Amino acid sequence: MRKLIIDLITAARPNYMKIAPVYHALCKESWCEARVVHTGQHYDPNMFDIFFRDLGLPPPDVSLGVGSGTHAEQTAGVMLAYEHHCLATRPDWIVVVGDVNATLSCALVGAKLGIPVAHLEAGLRSYDRHMPEEINRVLTDAMADILWTHSSDADENLRAEGIPADRIECVGNVMIDAFEMLRAKIESDDTRAGLALDETRYAVLTLHRPSNVDVPKVLKSIVRSLLDMSTRMPIVFPVHPRTKARLTTTGLWDELSAHPSIRLLEPLSYIQFMNLVTGAAAVVTDSGGIQEETTYLGIPCLTLRDNTERPITVTQGSNRLVSPDTLPTALARLSERTRPPPPALWDGHTAERVVANLKARSYMRGMLHD
Ligand code: UD1
């Protein structure tokens, strides 16, 4: 019997941790063949190669080579390149993850070519259409044939948009699979020790959202707040390329790098970054995935955003939304680590449920026969 070809789409850093557990679970199956497609959105070695290496992913089977650009350039560039690839070697399923531009591009290509699309991490909503990711989420979910969600509140969001229940499957949080897959390596990594942080209470910071870094006034107010915060606790800051560029053009880079309590680093690998996070007293971030990882680990997380598409990390987790003004006070009032039970199905077995569901749905569609 011919094996079904499953295209796994990766584009940017947060995608790799979601694709890797699914890739490894698919490789154990005899009915299908996983094909890793990298669109090229993140291309620096420390935003791409080291993640593939850490997560045990092979070099991509397909590299579309679509790098940075405006939203239209990225979205359309990936559509053109991926459609070309699908017409040459048609996959049986397209699996997209998260909410980056390529998630939308590849879902749209699949929908137009009649290739079924599955969206992992469906149903997240910030209800803020200023975020490019929110537009990508809503449109991808409107088109996908399978919507794999990570919590029941995501199911409710989808049902409220009129999406039929039979397309929705709650499978849990695949990021937790990635963490558990690499837990031993994360725990034995020496990044924390190398920075002489083992005995220190410190905060880890990440920052890259356009709404925080692209407007100089906002970026300056965040930097003022960080300088205030660093008097209470040293800050370790692996800097995203977008943020580095903005800090440099606003002249803030020199001020931050001269500060004795702020350590600026290049972007870290997944293992190095999680080694730092697991030892931190707090995390300050505007990332989506880190809100979930800290919830799972019970580490206090202060999210520099007005809203979150992951409210479960606030209601059931260790996350709090803060502004540049409230950040220093929130840090001063930080509670100690607690580890309440993680949300349902955040258990390290999501990829297995994804693969079982994909197989069952392939039978239902007549793509597989006994
Ligand atoms: C993208 C995603 C965002 C995700 C983030 C994680 C969209 C709309 N946004 O945002 O959801 O949270 O990735 O990092 O898809 N750059 C480099 N080297 C790289 C990659 C980017 O220098 O390897 C530079 C680009 O040239 C650009 C900037 O960083 O100037 C931003 O990159 P881009 O991929 O456009 O968006 P992100 O901010 O990374």
The answer to whether the CB of 294 is under 6 A from ligand 1 is no
User: Ligand 1 in contact with 212 (CB < 6 A)?
Assistant: no
pLDDT bracket for residue 350 (50, 70, 90)? very high
User: Which percentage of the chain shows pLDDT scores above 70?
Assistant: 99
Rounded to 5 degrees, φ, ψ at 202 are: -140, 160
Question: Ligand 1 centroid to 2 CA: how many Å?
Answer: 38
Question: And the tokens for 314?
Answer: 């606030």
Ligand 1 atom having least distance to the Cα of 43: 23
Q: Give the model confidence (pLDDT) of 18-42 as tens digits.
A: 999 999 999 999 999 999 999 999 9
**What is the rounded average pLDDT of the residues 216-225?**
97
pLDDT (0 to 100) of residue 340: 82
Tokens read off for 235: 């800050």
241 lines ligand 1 (CB under 6 A): yes
Q: For residue 250, report the distance from its CA to the centre of ligand 1, in Å.
A: 19
Q: Which atom belonging to ligand 1 lies closest to the Cα atom of 98?
A: 11
Query: What pLDDT score was predicted for residue 293?
Result: 97
pLDDT band at residue 198 under the 50/70/90 scheme: confident
- What is the Cα–Cα distance from 156 to 165, expressed in whole angstroms? 10
Q: Is the pLDDT of residue 339 over 80?
A: no
- Please tell me whether the overall predicted TM-score, pTM, comes out greater than 0.75 for this model: yes
Specify the ligand 1 atom closest to the Cα of 48.
23
CB atoms within 10 A of CB 43: 17
Tell me if 42 CB under 6 Å of ligand 1: yes
Average pLDDT for residues 185-214, to the nearest whole number? 96
* pLDDT at 8 (0 to 100): 98
**Span from the CA of 364 to the centroid of ligand 1 (angstroms):** 38
Query: What does the radius of gyration of the chain's CA atoms come to, in whole angstroms?
Result: 20
Q: pLDDT digit string (tens) for 231-290?
A: 989 999 999 999 999 999 999 999 999 999 999 999 999 999 999 999 999 999 999 999
Residue 103 CB–ligand 1 contact under 6 Å? no
The sheet carrying 203-205 orders its strands as 262-265, 235-238, 203-205, 282-285, 301-303, 319-321
- Closest residue by Cα to atom 15, ligand 1, is 100
Q: What is the dihedral of CA 313, 315, 319, 322, to 10 degrees?
A: 120
Pocket test for ligand 1, best of 15, 16, 42, 101 (most atoms within 8 A of CB): 42
The whole-number pLDDT of residue 358 equals 98
172-191 average pLDDT score: 98
Whole-number Å distance between alpha carbons of 303 and 287: 8
What type of residue sits at position 175? M
Q: Is 289 in the pocket of ligand 1 (CB under 6 A)?
A: no
Per-residue pLDDT at 126: 98
Stated as kind and residue range, the H or E segment containing 170 is strand 168-170
The reported pLDDT for the residue numbered 1 is: 80
pLDDT tens digits, one per residue of 55-92: 999 999 999 999 999 999 999 999 999 999 999 999 99
Using pLDDT thresholds of 50, 70 and 90, give the confidence band for residue 370. confident
Which residue CA neighbors atom 30 of ligand 1 most closely? 242
Q: Is the pLDDT of residue 337 over 80?
A: no
**Where in the sequence numbering do the catalytic residues fall?**
208
Average pLDDT, the chain: 96
In whole angstroms, give the CA distance from residue 259 to residue 105: 42
- Our answer on whether the CB atom of 35 is closer than 6 Å to any ligand 1 atom is no
* Beta strands in 16-97, from DSSP E residues, in sequence order: 32-38, 62-63, 93-97
Amino acid 333: pLDDT: 87
